[in-house]
Chain A
Amino acid sequence: MGKMSVKDWADNVVKEEEIDRYLENGKDFIDHDAIERHLDNNKKPDKIKVRDIIQKSLSIERLDPDETAALLHVEDPELWQEMAAAGLEVKRKVYDNRIVIFAPLYCSNLCVNNCLYCGFRKDNTHEIRRVLTPDEVRMEAESLVKMGHKRLIVVYGEHPSSDADYMAETIKAIYEVREKTRKGTGTIRRVNINAAPLSVDDFKKLWKAGIGTYQVFQETYHRPTYKKMHPVGPKSDYRWRLYTHHRAMEAGIDDVAIGALFGLYHWRYDVMGLLYHAMELEKRFDGIGPHTVSFPRLMPADNAPYSEHTDHLVSDEEFKKLVTVLRLAIPYTGMIVTAREKPDLRKEVIKLGCTQTDASTRIGLGAYSEQYDRQDKERQQFVLGDTRELDDVVRELAQMGMISSFCTAGYRCGRTGDKIMGLLKCGTEGKFCKLNAVLTFREWLDDFSSPETQKIGEELIRKEIGEIRKDAFFRNNPLLKEFEDYYQRVSEGERDLFL
């Protein structure tokens, strides 16, 4: 950052020309009046219409705003049950029964913004501030590899001490980690990034460093609420954030992830905002929609009063509804439920069609390598609802008939962006996923599982292999032979074989 002050740095983050070039007739893609109109016009939808919409989603077609608004207003419990079942079926068609596992790694909590709901906000003097050195990041990654993690979401505050160069350095440090396991060697194979909006040039730095997915959440799509929640700093610019995925895509990062922080504004509105965002990405980038959608709920944060006094807190029932509608509205996308939620609710929400979740989650700076388990509000962005170990989560998923996948094959085979979107929409990616899920689950069981999880996991793997052998897609397909060869080799200790 040279001699530039933190304030000057923050004042220079937003580049108007990197917003303006995406606008259409000076307007962005969040049409507030249209969203309100769709919501108003689709109250009390009739059953036949809702069932038609469900059928459309089951054919893996993205819903339009009127259809989504109609689902958001369903009141009949029986219809909600049908929608929930359809959501799981959509997920099975696109992703089969696997759940991708990841862990968050927080690298820094210095921030130039002052978001009213966030523990990292700059005016929060209770927060213990820290930026991990590359060596400390490496130590965190080593701890995560020893637990069995292969995929991370790495999180940074918005601050010159954690700029794009720092991010690239941390990505490199994480990829360098290699740890001995019971039968092989463990590494982090995919580093996804959750970071504040960047310029195209900065995104190119992350691209060259080997970023997986770039994730950032709009928090809320409702402008007045956004303005109130984000009073200062670069984050106060709604459009700079709204178009950050466009800039990432322009820089070559073709897996981008969107999300909203539910609880800031009305949940129905922000579901519509996410849908509009997905539609805009599809329109601008040849059908490439969001790689994943996240729907965190506002959680209490230290010295951030708004987090405990919002008018829009989302109840558990509303939360399940919004997840169900998102699953049906954007059927091809991955859906992430995190350890913000308590174990029982997370279990229920996974059954609504989620594709990814985290485990053994710690969000304090240095929490993995320094092994502090207590949730220190002064070191965290918010309070977690679920701190269970990876082994416990994997076992629970296996008991639910779901296979934990540590697969990172897609982005190491050129299957990103429009390539993976096409395969997702036609159901082919799910077939690859199933094979790679079994291979990585085999690795994980042999290298990390407890005896109890191993026992349940072996049963699940036998069932999965049986299904693969019976599946018409694999019959007379050389993939099956390749898979069986790889499975044998992985069982014997070879690592990181994928299709």
Chain B
Amino acid sequence: MTSFYKKLEGLSHGSGNETDYAEKVAELLSDKFGVSVTLCEIFSKRWSFLGGAGLSHAGAARREVFDAGSRCYGLLLYPDPGNSFPWVRLKPLLIKGFSSFLA
């Protein structure tokens, strides 16, 4: 599990922009927890797609929201991975990762 967190933390240090980062995060989470993962930026009620499941996107059974700087992001999971999904531990890493793209 520790190497997974290290890998997640390292994603934001790679090349690419916020969209690439979102894509990589979604892929990593999807592989690890065996669920469909989509990342969005939230503007009021609009959840705007950033990366992840895309065309195979099969709905959202669980939604998690987090702020990074002045921006708001959303994580959509399908199906709900339940308690096996360590959101409390993941959230600060995603906040840190997305914050690194803010000017």
Query: A412 within 8 Å of B by Cβ?
Result: yes
Q: How far is the CA of A423 from the CA of B58 in the complex (A)?
A: 10
* Chain B residue with the shortest CB-CB distance to A486: B61
In the complex, what residues of A have CB within 8 A of residue B61's CB?
Answer: 478, 482, 499
Query: B6 within 8 Å of A by Cβ?
Result: no
Query: B44 within 8 Å of A by Cβ?
Result: yes
- Known A189-B45, A419-B49, A478-B79; judge A414-B40 contact (CB<8 A): yes
B46 contacts A211, CB within 8 Å? yes
Q: How far is the CA of A497 from the CA of B54 in the complex (A)?
A: 21
A202-210, A219-227, A325-333 - the one binding chain B = A202-210
Q: How far is the CA of A417 from the CA of B55 in the complex (A)?
A: 11
* Chain B residue with the shortest CB-CB distance to A255: B46
A416 contacts B79, CB within 8 Å? no
Query: B59 within 8 Å of A by Cβ?
Result: yes
In the complex, what residues of B have CB within 8 A of residue A479's CB?
Answer: 58-59
Query: A413 within 8 Å of B by Cβ?
Result: yes
Q: How far is the CA of A148 from the CA of B101 in the complex (A)?
A: 41
* Chain A residue with the shortest CB-CB distance to B43: A210
B44 contacts A499, CB within 8 Å? no
B43 contacts A209, CB within 8 Å? yes
Q: How far is the CA of A408 from the CA of B38 in the complex (A)?
A: 18
A412 contacts B49, CB within 8 Å? no
Task: Number of A interface residues at 8 Å Cβ cutoff, please give it.
Answer: 30
* Chain B residue with the shortest CB-CB distance to A412: B47
- Known A210-B43, A423-B55, A432-B59; judge A416-B48 contact (CB<8 A): yes
Which residue in A207, A413, A419, A423 is a CB contact (below 8 Å) of B43?
A207
A499 contacts B45, CB within 8 Å? no
A412 contacts B57, CB within 8 Å? no
* Chain A residue with the shortest CB-CB distance to B76: A413
Query: B90 within 8 Å of A by Cβ?
Result: no
Q: How far is the CA of A175 from the CA of B57 in the complex (A)?
A: 27
Within 8 A of A (CB), among B48-79: 48-50, 52, 54-55, 57-61, 76, 78-79
Q: How far is the CA of A411 from the CA of B40 in the complex (A)?
A: 10
In the complex, what residues of B have CB within 8 A of residue A499's CB?
Answer: 59-61
B46 contacts A419, CB within 8 Å? no
B44 contacts A419, CB within 8 Å? no
Query: A171 within 8 Å of B by Cβ?
Result: yes
Q: How far is the CA of A211 from the CA of B48 in the complex (A)?
A: 11
Which residue in B48, B52, B55, B58 is a CB contact (below 8 Å) of A252?
B48
Of A190, A408, A413, A423, which is in contact with the most chain B CB atoms at under 10 Å from its CB? A413
* Chain B residue with the shortest CB-CB distance to A481: B79
In the complex, what residues of A have CB within 8 A of residue B49's CB?
Answer: 414-417, 419
In the complex, what residues of A have CB within 8 A of residue B40's CB?
Answer: 413-414
- Known A413-B38, A414-B40; judge A175-B59 contact (CB<8 A): no
* Chain B residue with the shortest CB-CB distance to A415: B57
B30 to chain A, nearest CB (A): 15
Q: How far is the CA of A414 from the CA of B50 in the complex (A)?
A: 8
Query: A353 within 8 Å of B by Cβ?
Result: no
In the complex, what residues of A have CB within 8 A of residue B43's CB?
Answer: 207-210
Query: A334 within 8 Å of B by Cβ?
Result: no
* Chain A residue with the shortest CB-CB distance to B55: A422
In the complex, what residues of B have CB within 8 A of residue A422's CB?
Answer: 54-55
B55 contacts A419, CB within 8 Å? yes
Q: How far is the CA of A175 from the CA of B45 in the complex (A)?
A: 8
In the complex, what residues of B have CB within 8 A of residue A175's CB?
Answer: 44-45
In the complex, what residues of B have CB within 8 A of residue A211's CB?
Answer: 46
A281 to chain B, nearest CB (A): 18
Q: How far is the CA of A209 from the CA of B43 in the complex (A)?
A: 6
A411 contacts B55, CB within 8 Å? no
In the complex, what residues of A have CB within 8 A of residue B38's CB?
Answer: 413-414
Query: A87 within 8 Å of B by Cβ?
Result: no
In the complex, what residues of A have CB within 8 A of residue B45's CB?
Answer: 175, 189-191, 210, 408, 411-412
Q: How far is the CA of A190 from the CA of B50 in the complex (A)?
A: 20
B27 to chain A, nearest CB (A): 15
Q: How far is the CA of A191 from the CA of B44 in the complex (A)?
A: 10
Query: A172 within 8 Å of B by Cβ?
Result: yes
Query: A212 within 8 Å of B by Cβ?
Result: yes
> 1/0 per position for A484-499, CB-CB distance to B under 8 A?
0000000000000011
In the complex, what residues of A have CB within 8 A of residue B50's CB?
Answer: 414
- Known A413-B38, A414-B40, A478-B79; judge A212-B46 contact (CB<8 A): yes
In the complex, what residues of B have CB within 8 A of residue A478's CB?
Answer: 61, 78-79
Q: How far is the CA of A411 from the CA of B38 in the complex (A)?
A: 13
A411 contacts B44, CB within 8 Å? no
B57 contacts A172, CB within 8 Å? no
Q: How far is the CA of A478 from the CA of B45 in the complex (A)?
A: 26
Q: How far is the CA of A436 from the CA of B74 in the complex (A)?
A: 20
- Known A479-B58, A482-B59, A499-B60; judge A414-B47 contact (CB<8 A): yes
Q: Can you offer 13 A-B residue contacts whose CB atoms are under 8 A?
A: A191-B45, A210-B45, A411-B46, A413-B38, A413-B47, A419-B49, A422-B55, A423-B55, A423-B57, A478-B79, A479-B58, A482-B59, A482-B61
Identify the 3 closest CB pairs spanning chains A and B, nearest first: A210-B44, A414-B49, A499-B59
Q: Taking A414-B40, A419-B55 as given, write out 7 further A-B residue pairs in contact, using a Cβ cutoff of 8 Å, ordered by the A residue number.
A: A172-B44, A210-B44, A412-B47, A414-B38, A414-B48, A419-B49, A482-B59
Q: Which residues does B use to contact A, with CB under 8 Å? A: 38, 40, 43-50, 52, 54-55, 57-61, 76, 78-79
